[in-house]
């Protein structure tokens, strides 16, 4: 009798072991809170603009200096200051400067390198000249000088910004018009600067 009980106990032990090994693990449940792990598929990325980017919806207004003989579009709402025949428009880190001067002949890339660049080197901190070339605009051919330089220190924070500058030199009927466009080197203002330079019209 004792032998039969021992045999029956052995059979039960083996059956229990087989049953335990044959079970499958339960699938993992959802993360706490019922959400899904990681960012949602297809979610749009947050857009950020580098400092100095001019908004795409920026409006422009015509500007014509007294006796200038031309008009040019300037971003609306920018602050302006006048110093003789030079008018400067600023907004945050960007600037558009319009200057008029009488000259006997049309400037060329060679004359700008020889006569203007040395002056800019003295005026612009850490001046670094880029390309000097000619470009076609509705108002005619202009000399385009690209360079970089440090801005004046912010009067409150003292911070200095590294600016990228595009200077367009136009000529018509004995007048030279300089459109100087500047903003932080990381800003993407290609379209606004083209809007300004393509808007110049002689009167």
Residues 119, 124, 127, 129, Cα dihedral to 10°? -50
Number of domains in the chain: 1
CA triplet 88, 89, 92: central angle to 5 degrees? 125
Task: Please indicate, yes or no, if residue 41 is contained in any of the structural domains.
Answer: no
Task: Please indicate, yes or no, if residue 52 is contained in any of the structural domains.
Answer: no
CA triplet 107, 202, 81: central angle to 5 degrees? 80
Please give the residue range of the domain that contains residue 91.
78-187
Write the CATH number for 132: 3.40.1000.10
Task: Please indicate, yes or no, if residue 203 is contained in any of the structural domains.
Answer: no
Task: Please indicate, yes or no, if residue 195 is contained in any of the structural domains.
Answer: no
C-alpha Rg value of the chain to the nearest Å: 35
What whole-number distance in Å separates Cα of residue 62 and Cα of residue 142?
Answer: 20
Which residues are within 8 A (CB) of 202 and not within 5 positions of it... i.e. 6 or more apart? 69, 70, 139, 172, 173
**pTM of the shown model:** 0.75
**What does each of the 203 residues of the chain score in pLDDT, given as a tens digit?**
444 444 444 434 444 444 444 444 444 444 444 444 444 455 444 334 457 899 999 999 999 999 999 999 999 999 999 999 999 999 989 999 999 999 999 999 999 999 999 999 999 999 999 999 999 999 999 999 999 999 999 889 999 999 999 999 999 999 999 999 999 999 999 999 999 999 999 99
Task: Please indicate, yes or no, if residue 180 is contained in any of the structural domains.
Answer: yes
Task: Please indicate, yes or no, if residue 171 is contained in any of the structural domains.
Answer: yes
Using the structure block, give the residue that is written with the tokens 């025949």. 85
How many Cβ atoms are within 10 Å of 177's Cβ, its own excluded?
A: 23
Task: Please indicate, yes or no, if residue 167 is contained in any of the structural domains.
Answer: yes
């Amino acid at each position: 009798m004792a032998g039969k009980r021992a045999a029956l106990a052995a059979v039960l032990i083996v059956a229990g072991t087989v049953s335990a090994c044959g079970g499958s693990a339960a699938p993992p449940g959802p993360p706490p809170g019922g959400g899904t792990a990681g960012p949602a598929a297809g979610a749009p990325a947050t857009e950020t603009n580098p400092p100095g980017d001019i908004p795409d919806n920026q409006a422009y207004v015509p500007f014509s200096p007294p006796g200038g003989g031309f008009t040019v579009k300037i971003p609306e709402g920018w602050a302006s200051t006048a110093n003789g025949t030079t008018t400067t428009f600023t907004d945050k880190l960007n600037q558009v400067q319009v200057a008029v001067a009488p000259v006997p002949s049309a400037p060329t890339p060679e004359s700008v390198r020889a006569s203007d660049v040395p002056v800019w080197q003295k005026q612009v901190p850490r001046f670094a000249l880029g390309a000097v070339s000619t470009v076609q605009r509705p108002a005619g051919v202009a000399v385009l000088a690209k360079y970089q330089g440090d801005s004046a220190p912010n009067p409150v924070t003292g911070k200095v910004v590294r600016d990228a500058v595009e200077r367009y030199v136009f000529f018509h009927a004995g007048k030279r018009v300089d459109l100087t466009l500047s903003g932080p080197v990381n800003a993407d203002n290609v379209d606004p600067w083209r809007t300004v330079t393509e808007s110049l019209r002689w009167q």
